[in-house]
Amino acid sequence: MTERADRFTTTDPAELLARARQLCEPGLRDALASLPEPLSTMAAYQFGWCEPDGTPTQAGWGKGLRAALALAAATACGSNPTAAAPAAIAVELLHNFTLVHDDVMDGDRLRRGRPTIWCVWGIPDAICLGDALHASAAQILVTWLPNTVAADAVARLETATAELCRGQSEDYAFETRSGVGVKDYLAMATNKTGTLMGCACALGALCTGADTATIEALDTFGRRLGLAFQIVDDLLGVWGDPTVTGKPAGADLIRRTQSFPVVAALESKNAAAAQLSQLYRSDRPITHRQAARAAADLDAAGDKQATQQQAQQWVSAALAALPEQMAASDLITLAYLVAHRDW
């Protein structure tokens, strides 16, 4: 990373995210408004723009990190970030499609502090909405991009979708599988989280007419950054501040998630492993107190530090994938954000 220090700018990551959300919002609103009812209202609810009855609100539609990556990739290719607006909108639509379906699959009742789509409208309509958002993502690309670019963009989007499905399926299989190793975890997390961030960067570059080598480099950057993002997510799922993350303390332990710290501890058979293994194998619900104790044990055994290091390593690997001469300051700012975020 040292050779890249000169490229660090003072860009505020929050500004990059805010700019991405601002740039995408009109296109996203148009895309959702063009869906048939009741899907249009459901989609607007998912993006925090209305209540279930359609009353306008501003509940927020997430950080916009994937959109920001697409725009930053365009900047890195020497273009105005607005060139990548179709990519940014498409990846946020695709991301929300996966969230709506994941909430059904996982039975999650809250998303961004509000009842999930399936909780409000039921599982059938939630499946329909996810399908429609998936359709919208591809639709945006073929509507907004020139034909020569659109076909390649759709191919990348749909390849990413198949990989996302695989990652989600693997993650789900981990719940009932013992002996998940770090290698299995990394493959799953790359599919589940890395793929879409890689796709965001690749599509952002594609929109600018970048050559294949540049697009592939940005894809690799995004994939590795996405893996770092997931590992940080896992770190926050065990040791995050509930007032910042919006999730209960030790939420991932209570749910017996095969997250990075858990998988790494069990594989290394360190001081915290035996107790943790017993806790995960028990049939009884894990209490908040037990989760807090396990989190402290994992920290004492060095797993928190190992998780931080693993995330940092993937951020470094992501930065190493960037071509030497690239004006990558926005991408680097976002990479720094991913590694150091507390949300």
> What does the binding site for a second copy look like in residue numbers (CB under 8 A)?
35-39, 97, 101, 104-106, 122-125, 127-132, 134-136, 138-139, 141-143, 145, 147-148, 150-152, 154-155, 157-159, 161-166, 168-169, 172-173, 191
In a 13 Å sphere around the CA of 180, the CA atoms on its Cβ side amount to 26
What amino acid is encoded at 323 in this protein? Answer: P
Do 260 and 187 touch, CB atoms closer than 8 A?
no
C-beta of 160: minimal distance to a second copy in Å?
8
* Angle 218-221-223 from CA coordinates, rounded to 5°: 110
C-beta of 228: minimal distance to a second copy in Å?
22
Q: For residues 9 and 159, which CB has a smaller minimum distance to a second copy in the complex? A: 159
**Token pair in block for residue 175:** 């719940």
Q: For residues 136 and 214, which CB has a smaller minimum distance to a second copy in the complex? A: 136
C-beta of 229: minimal distance to a second copy in Å?
21
Q: For residues 121 and 260, which CB has a smaller minimum distance to a second copy in the complex? A: 121
Prior bond to 38 cis, omega within 30?
A: yes
Q: For residues 141 and 319, which CB has a smaller minimum distance to a second copy in the complex? A: 141
C-beta of 220: minimal distance to a second copy in Å?
19
C-beta of 171: minimal distance to a second copy in Å?
9
One DSSP character per residue, 148-204 reads HHHHHHHHHHHHHHHHHHHHHHHHHHHTT-S---HHHHHHHHIIIIIHHHHHHHHHH
C-beta of 61: minimal distance to a second copy in Å?
20
Q: For residues 61 and 97, which CB has a smaller minimum distance to a second copy in the complex? A: 97
Name the residue with tokens 């009741």: 38
C-beta of 67: minimal distance to a second copy in Å?
20
Through-space distance between the first and last CA atoms of the chain, rounded to whole angstroms: 24
Do 331 and 69 touch, CB atoms closer than 8 A?
yes
Residues in the chain: 343
Q: For residues 194 and 240, which CB has a smaller minimum distance to a second copy in the complex? A: 194
Other CB atoms within a 10 A radius of the CB of residue 76 amount to 27
- Secondary structure of the chain: what % helix, strand, coil (to 5)? 75, 0, 25
